[in-house]
Every structure is written in structure tokens, then in C-alpha cells.
Structure 1
Amino acid sequence: MKIQAVIRTAILAITVSAGFSSEAGSASFTLLPGVTLETGDSWTMDGRHYRLYGVQACLRGSTYTDRSGKRRDCGEASLAVLGAYVRDTRPTCAVLFTSAATTYVACSASVGSDRLDLADLLIASGFAFAAVRADGLPQYPPYAVVEQMARDRNAGLWQFGDVQHPAFLLARARQAKRGAQ
């Protein structure tokens, strides 16, 4: 399992560096409780916006219906799970690349004696999704496989029949915006 995680992280780094300028030589950092979590896949630290590469959390304001029939904020559920992982595992993150406004990172979390990909953990638990590019393909295909496995197991938010993939909601919003122009 550790070898697969190392290989996956190496492939991710190669895939990302092929299309973007990376911050070569950037030291890794530990993501500690107390950072300002913005969503279930992003945070602000030292005045900089960070985001997990290849992950899409539920959008704040999107909802699902829990087992008791109550409408819940899906984005808040994703945020709470990211917060719990940060608190419990103190992930180590490495900068992959930086855009004008966002630094994209890959993070690993300590669970027992294992180091696990934080994005994998979030997606496998069913509280985050594989990010999708504008052309509809996954940013990082292995995360789409993890997402399908979580969906098949009805993990996390997938247990609720009305949960919608954020990519669907974002695409619908882009379509509506184009139609309004």
C-alpha cells in the first residue's frame, strides 16, 4: 500500500509539473489546526490561499437530505471532515504549482504508521469528489477511480440519494450564465 501511494504521488507530481510551473525547491509544510479552512478542499494560511490538487469538495449552499429528512449543507459536511483530518492527522503538504491566486498542494496524513494521501482519504470517505476539468475529464484520473469506489460503497455523502457532484452543479451554473448573456 505504501509503495502505491509513493508511486501515485510521483505520478501526480510528474503530471502536474508537465503543465504548470512548479515552485521547485519549496519546502513542505505541516497543515496544523488553526488555519482558516474555507471549504472542504481549501484554506488560507499566512495570507495565501491553498487548495488540494485534484479534489472538489461539496459546494457551500448545496444540500442533501439526511436520514431524518432534514436538509443539510453539503459544503459544511465536507469542511467538517477536512477539519477533522487536519486536527487528527496534521498533514504534511508539498507545493505542486501556484496560479495567480492559489497554491495547489498534495498532502499526506499520518494514520497509524502509514502516510496516506489526504485527497484519497477525503474522496474515499465520500466527503469530497474528484475534481473535473472544463472538458469533463478528471484532473487526476486515479481520484476518479477512488470516487467511484466510494460511490459504489455508499460512503459518506454518497449514502444520501440527493447528493449531487459539485462538477454537475458548477457546469449547470456556467450553462445558465452563458444562457443569460
Structure 2
Amino acid sequence: MKSPALFLSLTVGVTPATAAPPEGYFELKPGVTLESGDSWQDGDRHFRLFGVQACLRGTVYTDRSGARRDCGEASLAVLAAYIADTHPVCAPVAQTDKTVFVSCYAAIGADRLDLANLMISSGFAFASLDERGLPHHTPYAVVEQTAREKKVGLWQFDDVQHPALLLGQSAARGSTSP
């Protein structure tokens, strides 16, 4: 299931944008119900960006003024802005009983850019990890490391916690939420 996403991520950056989505793609329109910075509901269907883990809602970071902010809300706000500003189109790459995993591209000028890559490189999302702790899509982990080193987005705040660590700790405790 990883190869379609890899193919998409390699071809999206070099294909000029057009007015209509290609066959097999659908528009991610404003008005969907965002659940997090990586997932949304559209009608009775649940979608999630493949290879992405947003900051968890209810977890906090301390901004430069000393105020505590909801990390998940920050991720969600950035995803909402990208949807409104870039009008992404998405294609399914994997599916479970409850979730359709998608790869999306955003149109910025004449360019098509991988939405997951934009979220991660801007520092408002992270590369998702599998049960072994390995990235679902290795290039996203490389992008995440670069964002961390450059301290962009949420990485500029010292107390931001990687959601994979929180989810792993929660799983080790047998809890359903971090």
C-alpha cells in the first residue's frame, strides 16, 4: 500500500496544476468536519492523510509569551488554512473498515505540492510511525527531521512533544488516550 503514496509524492511536485482533479481524485473542500490536523469527516466517510500524525488535541505547548496553547488545535488550524488557501485534491491510497487514507496535493501557483509534506515541513504535523516505530513513509521522517533542526512551526517551542511518543506511552499503559 505504500507504493501509490510514494509514486504520488514523486510525481506531484513535477506535474503542473490544472483546473479539474485527475481521474480517481476528489476535491478536499472547505466545509468538511476537521477532526484533527490530519483527519476529517465528509458525510459518513472518515479520511486521514497517509503518513501524517498531527499534534494531539488536548496536548499543550508553551508559546513565546508563556501562554499554554493546544498543540492539536494548532495542527488543525494549519490544515484548515491549507484547505482554504490551496484547494487540495486527494486520492485514496489505503483503507480500513473505518478510515480512508489519502494522499493529497495542494495547488500553489502553477505547482502541485504534497499536502502531507507541507504540513510536516511547516512544523505543524509529524511523520506517522507504524507499530515498530518506523515511519509509514520514510521521506516524511526526513522532512520532519529537517523541520525539527530548523525549529519551524511547533518545533520552535521547547516543550512540544512528538505525538508518537505520547501514543506509544499510552499504548504501553493500555490506555485508549494519551
Aligned-partner Cα distance in 2 for 1:11–1:107: 9
Mapping 1:18-97, distance limit 5 Å: 27-97=24-94
Shift of 1:177: 1.7
| SS of residue matched to 1:110 | strand
SS at match of 1:93: strand
| Alpha-carbon offset, residue 27 of structure 1 | 2.1
Task: Tell me how far 1:106 sits from its aligned partner.
Answer: 0.1
Is contact 1:37-1:44 (8 Å) kept?
Answer: yes
Whole-Å separation in 2 of the counterparts to 1:88 and 1:148: 26
Q: Which residue of structure 1 aligns with residue 13 of structure 2?
A: none
1:120 aligns with 2:117: yes
Structure 1 letter corresponding to 2:36: T
**What is the percent sequence identity of the aligned residues?**
58
Contact map agreement 1:129 1:147 (CA 8 A) in 2:
yes
> What secondary structure, in the 3-state scheme, does the structure 2 residue paired with 1:39 have?
coil
Counterpart secondary structure, 2:31? coil
Q: 1:162 aligns with which of 149, 159, 162?
A: 159
Instruction: Indicate the residue corresponding to 1:23 in structure 2.
Output: none
Partners of 1:46 and 1:177 in 2: CA distance:
31
Residues 57 and 166, structure 1, Cα contact 8 Å, conserved in 2: yes
- Number of residue pairs aligned between Structure 1 and Structure 2: 160
TM-score, reference length from structure 2: 0.86
How big is each residue's C-alpha offset from its partner over 1:51-84, in whole Å with a ceiling of 9 and x where there is no partner?
0000000000111000000110000000000000
The one-letter code of the counterpart of 2:57 is R
Residues 120, 140 of structure 2: 8 Å contact kept: yes
* 1:107 aligned counterpart, secondary structure: strand
Q: Which runs of 5+ in 2 are unaligned?
A: 11-22
CA shift, 1:8, in A, is 7.1
Which secondary structure does the structure 1 equivalent of 2:140 belong to? helix
**2:146 matches 1:146:** no
RMSD of aligned residue pairs (Cα, Å): 1.8
Q: TM-score under structure 1 normalisation? A: 0.85
Moved over 2 A (4+): none
1:31 is displaced (CA, Å) by: 0.4
Contact 2:6 2:137 in 1 (8 A): no
